[in-house]
Amino acid sequence: MDNKDTYLLNFKGYNFESSFVDADFLENLDDFEIRDDDVFIITFPKSGTIWTQQILSLIYFEGHRNRTEDLSTLDRIPFFEYNIRKTDFLNRPSPRLFCSHLPYYLVPKGLKSKKAKIIYVYRNPKDVMTSYFHFSNLVVRFEAGNDMEHFMKRFLDGNGTVGDWKHHLTVEQNERFDKIFQRNMKDLPLKFIWDLNEE
Ligand SMILES: Nc1ncnc2c1ncn2[C@@H]1O[C@H](COP(=O)(O)O)[C@@H](OP(=O)(O)O)[C@H]1O
Ligand SMILES: CCc1ccc(OS(=O)(=O)O)cc1
């Protein structure tokens, strides 16, 4: 059932949907010039990318907020590595908004040196995987089939259709996120299990 080799491009250990990416662009990603006022939405697929694009559009584009301008979300906030409309990023007026599924180690070095803003959307991986399973069944090419166990194995191996959830952030970034999340949730009347050994 796997025809992964026909539609995946593995670049530095990370899987991309080959027909949507430009190998040259990937090769030169590191040096892509980041502007101080760029804004990146970064997510693992199926973590809430699109509604975050909508929220950002409401903030940045008056025409989107008051519905006077009919511009698609992808034109307002294009995908960085999946630039299917061949948007000319270099000549785009500031502030440029982008959306990306790139893991921390593949983003341009300008982003790592704290230029620009990154909005990272984080979702419970069990929900990400379930959402991705159903999404993959819609994208015929991905051939998810009905076998959730097989799909889960690929997801956990980090060798699935797009990327590797476990290595999307660093261990340190994940731990930092857990701390902030625990702190912000501590007054809610909900019980979270943080340690699997906990009763
Ligand atoms: N306003 C909202 N609040 C919470 N989740 C939302 C949302 N709008 C979209 N989503 C969820 O975001 C997921 C898609 O993410 P992405 O945009 O990254 O592809 C979908 O999850 P489900 O497939 O679990 O329903 C979708 O339901
Ligand atoms: C082909 C990789 C890919 C691109 C976009 C996806 O949807 S979303 O950004 O998560 O809404 C999923 C996979």
Give mean pLDDT, residues 74-95.
95
Ramachandran assignment for 20, one of left (phi > 0), alpha (psi -120 to 50 degrees), beta (any other): alpha
Compute, in angstroms, the gap from residue 54 CA to the centroid of ligand 1.
12
| CB distance 139 to ligand 1 below 6 Å | no
**Tens digit of each residue's pLDDT (9 = 90 or more) over 106-150:** 999 999 887 799 999 999 999 999 999 999 888 766 666 778 898
| CB distance 52 to ligand 2 below 6 Å | no
ipTM of model: 0.94
pLDDT surpasses 70 at 183? yes
Kindly compute the dihedral angle of the four CA atoms of residues 112, 113, 117, 121, in this order, to the nearest 10 degrees: 20
The CATH number of the domain covering residues in 4-123: 3.40.50.300
User: For all residues of the chain together, what is the average pLDDT?
Assistant: 89
- Residues 6 or more apart whose Cβ sits within 8 Å of residue 198: none
More confident residue, 121 or 182: 121
- How does 165-191 read in b/e, with b if 16+ C-beta sit within 10 Å? beebbeeeeeeeeeeeeeeeeeeeeee
Which atom of ligand 1 lies at the shortest distance from residue 43's CA?
18
- 177-to-5, 7, 126, 128 alpha-carbon distances in Å: 34, 33, 17, 17
Cα 187 from chain centroid (whole Å): 29
pLDDT surpasses 90 at 197? no
Which range of 21-25, 37-41, 130-134 scores highest in mean pLDDT? It is 37-41
Compute, in angstroms, the gap from residue 2 CA to the centroid of ligand 2.
19
- pLDDT band at 51; cut points 50, 70, 90: very high
Residue for token pair 């630039």: 83
- pLDDT band at 193; cut points 50, 70, 90: confident
Q: What pLDDT was estimated at residue 146?
A: 77
Nearest to 32 by CA among 100, 85, 84: 100
| CB distance 47 to ligand 1 below 6 Å | yes
| CB distance 48 to ligand 1 below 6 Å | yes
Compute, in angstroms, the gap from residue 67 CA to the centroid of ligand 2.
25
pTM comes to 0.91
Domain range list for the chain: 4-123
